[in-house]
Structure 1
Amino acid sequence: MMKILIVEDNRDIQALLTEVLTPTYQIASAFDGITGLKLATQEQPDLIILDLMLPNLTGESVLKTIRRSSTVPIIVLTAIQDKQKTVALLQAGANDYLTKPFDLDELVARIEVQLRAQPSQLPSNKLTFAEITLDLITHEIFVNNQPLTLPKKEFAMLVLLLRHPHQVFAKAQLYETVWGEPYRDAENTLNVHLSNLRVKINELAQQPQYIISIWGIGVRLV
């Protein structure tokens, strides 16, 4: 069953969309931008329905951040009637949009169109990069064929990096995606977790230095 992530802070709309779509799709829900961004990475949905007016992080910011690393179809819900604004959304990476109030049948039809346009992919529970293998179901990790055990946050960071190797993640982006909260006075917390993760991998790897820092920008897996 395909999965749809609904990022919408209006609980009535969330409930309505969930009720309509649940018979056909698996649903994940987020009520603010930061949680939406986090679930977009963790849940790996087949399609995202994204409201623009969100607390904590705007829909525009969520859209642009997702587009740095994913081509998942995104349908934007907006109360804005300005055509220039909607054109800008499409240019920023939205696949489609509907203005509120919207017709449910039309939304369902647009979802079907977007999902039909996507290439079919076989589901995989494992992420592999060079010497590192991670099982998303069992949470088993092997580096150079040796088992590695990680706490929750370090595991989540490694999943994110393995899903997008070579991509540079800003520290704020990495923190907000994994912790699901704003990056305020959290640099030390993030640096400690990154350092621990890097050391644990390097201790087992034949070719260490998988996680490198890009000065002034962020980190990436290479």
Structure 2
Amino acid sequence: MTRVLIVDDEPQIVRALEINLRARGYEVDAASDGRTALDLAARRHPDVILLDLGLPEMGGTEVIEGLRGWLTVPIIVLSARHGSDDKVRALDLGADDYVTKPFGMDELLARLRAAVRRAVPAEEAAVVTTAAFTVDLAAKKVSRDGTDVRLTPTEWQVLEVLVRNAGRLVGRRRLLREVWGPAYEHETNYLRVYLAQLRRKLERDPSRPEHLITEPGMGYRFEG
């Protein structure tokens, strides 16, 4: 049974989440502050964490930092903060997804199910196929309509990071770190250029990408 840890200081939201999650067979723990959340995470071993950023005393970003030192389970941030800076910081610290309050319960539950599915250990598929192109991770090759697509080494690295995190939002700084290195964390123009090149080579309609998706102000997501 999947165990969810809710970390939020708004009793109405916690109660609504508890009712909806338990009705669907989840086990639920709840904390109203960061220190209690860290303690519960250590003792109860949740499978996924729903975390509000606006917590008293210890903020949500500090909780993420505290958790990511030893815990790899998905963290979905819930916050009334609409600014992209907050989202980017949470993602860079290790959050897996971000839902802005007020949120629809159906959407949140769908995001939660997707996060849990991605977290289940499984043998990575060597070949990833989309409606437009195929990526062979082992052979480091991409084909479209049966023909190999020539990618530069950097284009391949960008694509590989996104494909290996299929369905997950990859923050801009993380992508820059993994492809170019820590010194390039702020060179976001690199990503715009290389994503545009990849879309021209791989997407059926580069102006309306189906697989290499931009999350404005935050990062990129590969959808198969």
* Structure-1-length-normalised TM-score: 0.53
Correspondence list, 1:17-166, <5 A: 17-23=17-23, 24-120=25-121
Q: Distance in 2 between matches of 1:89 and 1:53?
A: 12
The code of the aligned residue for 1:79 comes to A
The code of the aligned residue for 2:100 comes to T
**Alignment correspondent of 2:16:** 16
**Alignment correspondent of 1:5:** 5
Identity of aligned residues (%): 42
Q: Distance in 2 between matches of 1:85 and 1:113?
A: 22
How many Å apart are 1:89 and its aligned residue? 1.0
SS in 2 for 1:97: strand
How many Å apart are 1:120 and its aligned residue? 4.7
SS in 2 for 1:5: strand
Compute the RMSD of aligned alpha carbons: 1.3
Once the two structures are superposed, residues 168-221 of structure 1 have per-residue CA deviations (whole angstroms, 9 ceiling, x without a partner) of xxxxxxxxxxxxxxxxxxxxxxxxxxxxxxxxxxxxxxxxxxxxxxxxxxxxxx
Once the two structures are superposed, residues 76-111 of structure 1 have per-residue CA deviations (whole angstroms, 9 ceiling, x without a partner) of 011111112211211110000111111110000000
How many residues are aligned here? 121
Q: Distance in 2 between matches of 1:120 and 1:73?
A: 13
Q: Distance in 1 between matches of 2:11 and 2:63?
A: 19
Q: Distance in 2 between matches of 1:103 and 1:61?
A: 26
Q: Distance in 2 between matches of 1:25 and 1:80?
A: 27
Unaligned runs of 5+ in 1: 122-222
Unaligned runs of 5+ in 2: 123-224
* Structure 1 runs, 4 residues or longer, greater than 2 Å off: none
